[in-house]
A and B are shown apart, each in its own frame.
Chain A
Amino acid sequence: AQSVTQPDIHITVSEGASLELRCNYSYGATPYLFWYVQSPGQGLQLLLKYFSGDTLVQGIKGFEAEFKRSQSSFNLRKPSVHWSDAAEYFCAVGEGAQKLVFGQGTRLTINP
Protein backbone atom coordinates (compact mmCIF):
# COMPACT_ATOMS: atom_id res chain seq x y z
CA ALA A 1 0.00 0.00 0.00
CA GLN A 2 1.04 3.52 -0.63
CA SER A 3 2.21 5.57 2.32
CA VAL A 4 3.92 8.85 2.97
CA THR A 5 5.93 9.80 6.04
CA GLN A 6 6.86 13.30 7.02
CA PRO A 7 9.17 12.75 9.99
CA ASP A 8 9.05 16.31 11.29
CA ILE A 9 5.75 17.45 12.78
CA HIS A 10 6.98 20.96 13.50
CA ILE A 11 10.03 22.89 12.30
CA THR A 12 11.14 26.37 13.30
CA VAL A 13 13.63 28.35 11.24
CA SER A 14 14.79 31.92 11.25
CA GLU A 15 13.78 34.27 8.47
CA GLY A 16 16.43 34.19 5.76
CA ALA A 17 17.66 30.73 6.72
CA SER A 18 17.52 27.75 4.43
CA LEU A 19 14.80 25.14 4.75
CA GLU A 20 14.49 21.44 4.07
CA LEU A 21 11.31 19.49 4.77
CA ARG A 22 11.59 15.74 4.61
CA CYS A 23 9.27 13.33 2.86
CA ASN A 24 9.65 9.56 2.50
CA TYR A 25 7.24 7.44 0.53
CA SER A 26 6.39 3.83 -0.02
CA TYR A 27 5.03 2.98 -3.43
CA GLY A 28 5.13 -0.09 -5.60
CA ALA A 29 5.63 1.60 -8.94
CA THR A 30 7.05 4.82 -10.28
CA PRO A 31 5.69 7.40 -7.89
CA TYR A 32 3.96 10.62 -8.74
CA LEU A 33 4.89 13.04 -6.00
CA PHE A 34 3.45 16.34 -4.86
CA TRP A 35 4.05 19.04 -2.28
CA TYR A 36 1.12 21.15 -1.12
CA VAL A 37 1.09 24.15 1.21
CA GLN A 38 -1.75 25.15 3.49
CA SER A 39 -1.72 28.66 4.88
CA PRO A 40 -3.75 29.31 8.04
CA GLY A 41 -7.48 29.17 7.31
CA GLN A 42 -6.89 28.34 3.67
CA GLY A 43 -7.17 25.34 1.41
CA LEU A 44 -4.23 23.47 -0.06
CA GLN A 45 -2.17 24.97 -2.85
CA LEU A 46 0.11 22.92 -5.08
CA LEU A 47 3.77 23.94 -4.76
CA LEU A 48 5.29 21.47 -7.18
CA LYS A 49 4.97 17.98 -8.60
CA TYR A 50 7.19 15.25 -10.01
CA PHE A 51 6.18 12.69 -12.61
CA SER A 52 9.32 11.86 -14.54
CA GLY A 53 12.47 13.34 -16.02
CA ASP A 54 14.73 15.70 -14.14
CA THR A 55 14.80 14.70 -10.50
CA LEU A 56 15.13 18.30 -9.33
CA VAL A 57 11.77 20.01 -9.65
CA GLN A 58 11.16 23.74 -9.42
CA GLY A 59 7.93 25.04 -7.98
CA ILE A 60 6.21 28.25 -7.06
CA LYS A 61 7.32 30.69 -4.36
CA GLY A 62 10.99 29.74 -4.78
CA PHE A 63 10.60 26.14 -3.62
CA GLU A 64 12.28 23.11 -5.15
CA ALA A 65 12.24 19.40 -4.43
CA GLU A 66 14.55 16.55 -5.30
CA PHE A 67 13.37 13.04 -6.05
CA LYS A 68 15.79 10.37 -4.85
CA ARG A 69 14.61 6.92 -5.81
CA SER A 70 17.37 5.13 -3.87
CA GLN A 71 16.25 6.82 -0.66
CA SER A 72 12.51 6.86 -1.44
CA SER A 73 12.56 10.54 -0.65
CA PHE A 74 11.16 13.76 -2.08
CA ASN A 75 12.47 16.53 0.17
CA LEU A 76 11.32 20.11 -0.22
CA ARG A 77 13.88 22.93 -0.06
CA LYS A 78 14.07 26.69 -0.11
CA PRO A 79 17.35 28.60 0.10
CA SER A 80 16.00 31.54 2.10
CA VAL A 81 12.63 31.53 3.86
CA HIS A 82 10.33 34.50 4.27
CA TRP A 83 7.90 35.14 7.11
CA SER A 84 5.07 34.46 4.65
CA ASP A 85 6.27 30.87 4.25
CA ALA A 86 4.89 30.00 7.68
CA ALA A 87 2.28 27.34 6.92
CA GLU A 88 1.64 23.61 6.96
CA TYR A 89 3.27 21.57 4.24
CA PHE A 90 2.00 18.27 2.93
CA CYS A 91 3.77 15.69 0.82
CA ALA A 92 1.58 13.36 -1.23
CA VAL A 93 2.03 10.39 -3.53
CA GLY A 94 -0.42 9.01 -6.01
CA GLU A 95 -1.53 8.18 -9.49
CA GLY A 96 -3.15 11.41 -10.42
CA ALA A 97 -5.46 13.55 -8.38
CA GLN A 98 -7.95 10.88 -7.47
CA LYS A 99 -5.58 8.56 -5.65
CA LEU A 100 -3.52 10.92 -3.53
CA VAL A 101 -2.14 9.68 -0.24
CA PHE A 102 -0.99 12.47 2.04
CA GLY A 103 1.62 12.59 4.74
CA GLN A 104 0.81 13.88 8.19
CA GLY A 105 2.06 17.35 7.44
CA THR A 106 4.90 19.54 8.75
CA ARG A 107 4.08 22.83 10.40
CA LEU A 108 6.65 25.52 9.63
CA THR A 109 7.19 28.43 11.99
CA ILE A 110 9.40 31.35 11.02
CA ASN A 111 11.31 33.32 13.66
CA PRO A 112 11.87 36.97 12.83
Chain B
Amino acid sequence: DAGITQSPRYKITETGRQVTLMCHQTWSHSYMFWYRQDLGHGLRLIYYSAAADITDKGEVPDGYVVSRSKTENFPLTLESATRSQTSVYFCASSESTSMNTEAFFGQGTRLTVV
Protein backbone atom coordinates (compact mmCIF):
# COMPACT_ATOMS: atom_id res chain seq x y z
CA ASP B 1 0.00 0.00 0.00
CA ALA B 2 1.18 3.49 -0.83
CA GLY B 3 1.76 5.94 1.95
CA ILE B 4 3.47 6.06 5.29
CA THR B 5 3.00 3.29 7.83
CA GLN B 6 4.08 2.91 11.41
CA SER B 7 4.46 -0.24 13.43
CA PRO B 8 3.48 -1.30 15.94
CA ARG B 9 0.35 0.78 16.52
CA TYR B 10 0.43 0.03 20.24
CA LYS B 11 3.28 -1.03 22.46
CA ILE B 12 3.71 -1.58 26.18
CA THR B 13 7.23 -1.94 27.47
CA GLU B 14 9.03 -1.93 30.77
CA THR B 15 11.35 0.72 32.12
CA GLY B 16 14.92 0.13 30.99
CA ARG B 17 14.09 -1.98 27.97
CA GLN B 18 15.08 -1.09 24.45
CA VAL B 19 12.24 -0.58 22.01
CA THR B 20 12.21 0.32 18.33
CA LEU B 21 9.39 2.02 16.50
CA MET B 22 9.28 1.48 12.76
CA CYS B 23 8.34 3.89 10.00
CA HIS B 24 8.11 3.08 6.31
CA GLN B 25 7.13 5.32 3.40
CA THR B 26 6.56 4.35 -0.22
CA TRP B 27 6.90 7.76 -1.88
CA SER B 28 10.71 7.95 -1.84
CA HIS B 29 10.45 11.23 0.04
CA SER B 30 13.80 12.67 1.01
CA TYR B 31 12.79 13.97 4.42
CA MET B 32 11.48 11.96 7.30
CA PHE B 33 10.59 13.07 10.84
CA TRP B 34 9.74 11.71 14.25
CA TYR B 35 7.42 13.65 16.56
CA ARG B 36 6.01 12.88 19.97
CA GLN B 37 2.58 14.08 21.00
CA ASP B 38 1.88 14.81 24.64
CA LEU B 39 -1.09 16.45 26.26
CA GLY B 40 -0.53 20.17 26.55
CA HIS B 41 2.50 20.16 24.27
CA GLY B 42 1.13 19.42 20.85
CA LEU B 43 3.70 17.72 18.65
CA ARG B 44 7.40 18.13 19.28
CA LEU B 45 10.13 17.15 16.85
CA ILE B 46 12.50 14.45 18.08
CA TYR B 47 14.72 13.80 15.07
CA TYR B 48 14.61 14.30 11.35
CA SER B 49 16.49 13.05 8.34
CA ALA B 50 17.21 14.83 5.08
CA ALA B 51 18.30 11.71 3.21
CA ALA B 52 19.71 8.27 3.78
CA ASP B 53 22.55 8.37 6.32
CA ILE B 54 21.80 12.02 7.22
CA THR B 55 20.03 12.70 10.50
CA ASP B 56 19.71 15.67 12.80
CA LYS B 57 18.30 16.46 16.22
CA GLY B 58 15.02 18.19 16.77
CA GLU B 59 13.60 19.83 19.87
CA VAL B 60 13.55 16.79 22.20
CA PRO B 61 16.18 14.23 21.10
CA ASP B 62 17.46 13.01 24.48
CA GLY B 63 16.96 9.30 25.05
CA TYR B 64 16.30 8.52 21.40
CA VAL B 65 18.41 7.16 18.56
CA VAL B 66 17.56 7.11 14.86
CA SER B 67 19.08 5.63 11.74
CA ARG B 68 18.34 5.84 8.07
CA SER B 69 20.16 3.24 6.04
CA LYS B 70 17.43 3.21 3.38
CA THR B 71 15.40 6.13 2.07
CA GLU B 72 12.09 4.45 2.84
CA ASN B 73 12.74 3.49 6.46
CA PHE B 74 13.35 5.64 9.52
CA PRO B 75 13.30 3.63 12.76
CA LEU B 76 13.26 5.32 16.16
CA THR B 77 14.90 3.51 19.07
CA LEU B 78 14.50 4.16 22.75
CA GLU B 79 17.69 2.62 24.11
CA SER B 80 16.51 2.45 27.73
CA ALA B 81 12.87 3.38 27.99
CA THR B 82 11.68 5.66 30.78
CA ARG B 83 8.16 6.47 31.96
CA SER B 84 8.55 10.00 30.65
CA GLN B 85 8.75 8.54 27.16
CA THR B 86 5.18 7.30 27.37
CA SER B 87 3.62 9.15 24.47
CA VAL B 88 2.12 8.91 21.02
CA TYR B 89 4.80 8.92 18.35
CA PHE B 90 4.21 10.14 14.82
CA CYS B 91 6.39 9.63 11.82
CA ALA B 92 6.12 11.98 8.84
CA SER B 93 7.72 12.44 5.46
CA SER B 94 8.01 15.21 2.91
CA GLU B 95 9.29 15.53 -0.60
CA SER B 96 11.72 18.39 -0.18
CA THR B 97 12.74 21.35 1.93
CA SER B 98 10.98 23.97 -0.15
CA MET B 99 8.83 26.43 1.72
CA ASN B 100 5.51 25.05 0.52
CA THR B 101 6.28 21.42 1.23
CA GLU B 102 3.60 19.42 2.94
CA ALA B 103 4.44 16.76 5.51
CA PHE B 104 2.46 13.51 5.45
CA PHE B 105 1.92 11.77 8.76
CA GLY B 106 1.55 8.16 9.77
CA GLN B 107 -1.22 6.94 12.06
CA GLY B 108 0.97 7.01 15.14
CA THR B 109 2.31 4.54 17.68
CA ARG B 110 0.99 4.69 21.21
CA LEU B 111 3.83 3.70 23.54
CA THR B 112 3.35 3.02 27.22
CA VAL B 113 6.35 2.54 29.47
CA VAL B 114 5.52 0.86 32.76
Contact = CB atoms under 8 A, between A and B. Distances in A.
Interface of A: 4, 6, 32, 36, 41-46, 49, 51, 90, 95-98, 100, 102-105
B48 interface: yes
B42 A51 contact: no
Interface string B93-110: 010111111110111100
B101 A97 contact: yes
B92 A97 contact: yes
Given A44-B105, A46-B102, A96 B97 contact: yes
A98 B108 CA distance: 18
B90 interface: yes
A102 B107 contact: no
A85 B100 CA distance: 25
Given A43-B105, A97-B94, A104 B31 contact: no
Contacts of B4: 43
- Most A CB atoms within 10 A — which of B40, B43, B102, B108? B43
